[in-house]
Amino acid sequence: MHIGLIGLGKMGGNMRTRLRNAGIEVTGFDRNPDVTDVATLDDLVAALPSPRTIWVMVPAGQITDGVIADLNERLEAGDLIIEGGNSRFTEDFKHAELLSAKGIDYIDAGVSGGVWGLENGYGLMVGGSKAQVERVMPVFDALRPEGPREEGFVHVGEVGAGHYAKMVHNGIEYALMQAYAEGFELLEKREDIIRDVPGTFKAWQRGTVVRSWLLELLVRALDEDDDLSEIEGYVEDSGEGRWTIEEAVANAVPVPTISASIFARFVSRQDDSPAMKAVAALRNQFGGHAVKKSDD
């Protein structure tokens, strides 16, 4: 199988490598000449066999809209676009409608795994027709973690379902990170009793009910900076947490924990705190998200 991949940044570049390691031929395009395989989008389209499959892995919003529009002008009926960025699910309806007028198929893919996906594989949540999902299952199998397919991949439903599932996934992620972060701050506060905060988190990695990959990443962050003094407690949000809350309100579903976690991020932009240092460190560990270095 031979696919195109647009966007070769922190995740896209690693995805290209993982696919190639699994025997999938990949032609990548990026505006960065140091990483791209072809010089132009036209060259990418020309390099792919028909029917073409192109995975789009660029920032959500106007950039994704522009890439989809550019591909719509160049692709043909029977071709397929997989949109793997963190787009809001409502954008998928718009993209699919635009492409369907020319007979171009569309799959939305929620992708989790961050900068560790190359080594560990990516959790995949996809939306689209069963026929199109089956058509590119070798690509999904190459990207997902080893083990049973159903533990790393799900065909959630029709177009929009993949990004909806990823939105809820990220809302849950917000809440989990906030819980670890608040625990970190409380342990730090009682230095008269707790003499080894990093060691406490490290000891939770086996046998406890709070063990998780996020906990492992927090331990890694504390190994690098045992009191997180090098990080400013300022945390951005990429949108999914807000969208999860908006959906919860629209459907009368109470999500107090997720809501509290997003509001805590807003607080972080007003007042530095140990808890938000921990959240910032976690985002950097799993996603390579930038952190603000402390001026202290």
- pTM for the full model? 0.88
Torsion over CA: 217, 219, 223, 226 (sign)? positive
Residue 132 pLDDT > 60: yes
Q: What pLDDT does residue 167 have? A: 97
Residue 208 pLDDT > 70: yes
Whether 10 sits among the annotated catalytic residues: the reply is: no
Residue 296 pLDDT > 60: no
Among residues 91, 173, 232, 240, which one is catalytic? 173
* Contact (CB, 8 A) for 278 and 184: yes
Mean pLDDT of the chain: 93
Residue 261 pLDDT > 60: yes
Per-residue pLDDT tens over the stretch 74-105: 999 999 999 999 999 999 999 999 999 999 99
Per-residue pLDDT tens over the stretch 1-57: 999 999 999 899 999 999 999 999 999 999 999 999 999 999 999 999 999 999 999
Q: What pLDDT does residue 244 have? A: 95
pLDDT band at 282 (very low <50, low <70, confident <90, very high): confident
Q: What pLDDT does residue 130 have? A: 98
Q: What pLDDT does residue 134 have? A: 98
Q: What pLDDT does residue 270 have? A: 63
- Smallest CA-to-CA distance from 174 within 235, 116, 241, 247 is with 241
**Structural tokens at position 222:** 């504390």
**Structural tokens at position 39:** 């010089």
pLDDT band at 288 (very low <50, low <70, confident <90, very high): low
Look at residue 101 and give its three-state secondary structure.
coil
257 CB neighbour count, 10 Å cutoff: 14
With a pLDDT cut of 90, the percent of the chain lying above it is: 81
Residue 245 pLDDT > 60: yes
How far apart are the C-alpha atoms of 1 and 36, rounded to whole Å? Answer: 19
Q: What pLDDT does residue 195 have? A: 95
Query: What is the CA 97 to chain-centroid distance, rounded?
Result: 24
Look at residue 151 and give its three-state secondary structure.
helix
Whether 158 sits among the annotated catalytic residues: the reply is: no
How far apart are the C-alpha atoms of 289 and 177, rounded to whole Å? Answer: 14
Per-residue pLDDT tens over the stretch 209-241: 999 999 999 999 999 998 888 877 777 777 888
- The residue length of the chain stands at 296
pLDDT band at 266 (very low <50, low <70, confident <90, very high): confident
Alpha-carbon distances, residue 160 vs 13, 47, 187, 219 (angstroms):
25, 29, 41, 35
Among residues 166, 182, 232, 240, which one is catalytic? 166
